[in-house]
C-alpha cells in the first residue's frame, strides 16, 4: 500500500465516523490511566460500569497506593484479571506518589516505565489526557483492520503500529486512534464483517481476495 492510498482510506473512515471518540469515561488523567489499564482483555462498556464504584471508594493516587490489595481486587473484579490489575494499579499509584508528586507523567517513556502500562496504554493516555498523540494504539480492532485492509501484514501490535506510522500522515494520528476502533465495532467486525455495505470494499485486500 502507498501513502496516498493509506491517506485516502483514512479520510474515507473519518467521513464514515465523524463522531468517533474514546469510549472510556474519565474525569482526569489519573482516572483515564486506571480505566485504560482495566480495559485490557475487557470491554470499555464493562470498565465504564465498574469505575464509578471504584472511584467512590478510592480516587487519588495516594488512596490507590494505600488501599488494601484485597479490597482493591474486590473492586476491580468485574473487569477480569483482577489479581494482576490490582497489583499493577497499586504499584503504579505508588510510583506516581513517590516519583511524580501524584501526577501522571507526560512522556511515552515515563508512562511505559509504569507497571501495567505498555505502548498501547501510553498512546491512549498521550492522546486523550494530554492531546499530544505520539503514535497509534493498536488494539484488537486496529490489528484486525490493519491486516484486512492491507496496511500491515504483521501480527505483533508494535510492528503493526510502525507500519501504520510509515503510511499515515501525523495530522491524522488522533482520528486514526478512534476510527479503526469504530469501524471494527460497527462494520469490520471479527466475525461476519459487513463487507457488502462497507465503503472501503474496493480498496480492501481481504474483500478483494474473497471476490
Ligand atoms: S471490506 Fe470487509 S474486511 Fe474490508 S474493511 Fe470493509 S468490512 Fe472490513
Task: Kindly state the percentage of the chain with pLDDT values over 90.
Answer: 94
The topology under which CATH files domain 29-128 is Endonuclease III; domain 1 (1.10.340)
Which residues does the annotation mark as catalytic? Answer: 120, 139
Q: What is the pLDDT of residues 81-96, one digit of tens each?
A: 999 999 999 999 999 9
Give the C-alpha distances (Å, rounded to integers) separating 108 from 30, 82, 101, 114, 119: 15, 25, 18, 10, 8
Q: What does the domain layout of the chain look like in residue ranges?
A: 3-20+136-210, 29-128
In CATH, the number for domain 3-20+136-210 is: 1.10.1670.10
- The predicted structure's pLDDT at residue 169: 93
Q: What is the pLDDT of residues 20-78, one digit of tens each?
A: 999 999 999 999 999 999 999 999 999 999 999 999 999 999 999 999 999 999 999 99
Phi-psi region of 17 (alpha: psi -120 to 50; beta: other; left: phi over 0): beta
Ligand 1 atom nearest residue 199's Cα: 6
CA of 12 to the centre of ligand 1 (A): 13
Q: For the whole model, what pTM was predicted?
A: 0.88
Q: Is the CB of 148 under 6 A from ligand 1?
A: yes
Q: Kindly state the average pLDDT of the residues 141-164.
A: 95
Amino acid at each position: 500500500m502507498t501513502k496516498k492510498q493509506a491517506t485516502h482510506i483514512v479520510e474515507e473512515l473519518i467521513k464514515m465516523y465523524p463522531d468517533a471518540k474514546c469510549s472510556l469515561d474519565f474525569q482526569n488523567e489519573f482516572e483515564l490511566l486506571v480505566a485504560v489499564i482495566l480495559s485490557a482483555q475487557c470491554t470499555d462498556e464493562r470498565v465504564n460500569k465498574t469505575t464509578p464504584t471504584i472511584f467512590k471508594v478510592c480516587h487519588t493516587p495516594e488512596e490507590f497506593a494505600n488501599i488494601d490489595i484485597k479490597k482493591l481486587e474486590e473492586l476491580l473484579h468485574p473487569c477480569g484479571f483482577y489479581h494482576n490489575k490490582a497489583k499493577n494499579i497499586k504499584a503504579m499509584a505508588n510510583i506516581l506518589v513517590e516519583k511524580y508528586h501524584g501526577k501522571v507523567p507526560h512522556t511515552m517513556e515515563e508512562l511505559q516505565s509504569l507497571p501495567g502500562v505498555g505502548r498501547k496504554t501510553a498512546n491512549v493516555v498521550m492522546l486523550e489526557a494530554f492531546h499530544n498523540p505520539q503514535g497509534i494504539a493498536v488494539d484488537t480492532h486496529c490489528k484486525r483492520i490493519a491486516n484486512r485492509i492491507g496496511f500491515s501484514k504483521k501480527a505483533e501490535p508494535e510492528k503493526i503500529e510502525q507500519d501504520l506510522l510509515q503510511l499515515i500522515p501525523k495530522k491524522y494520528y488522533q482520528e486514526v486512534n478512534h476510527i479503526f476502533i469504530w469501524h471494527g465495532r460497527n462494520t469490520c467486525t471479527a466475525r461476519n464483517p459487513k463487507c457488502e455495505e462497507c465503503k472501503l470494499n474496493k480498496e480492501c485486500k481481504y474483500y478483494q481476495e474473497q471476490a
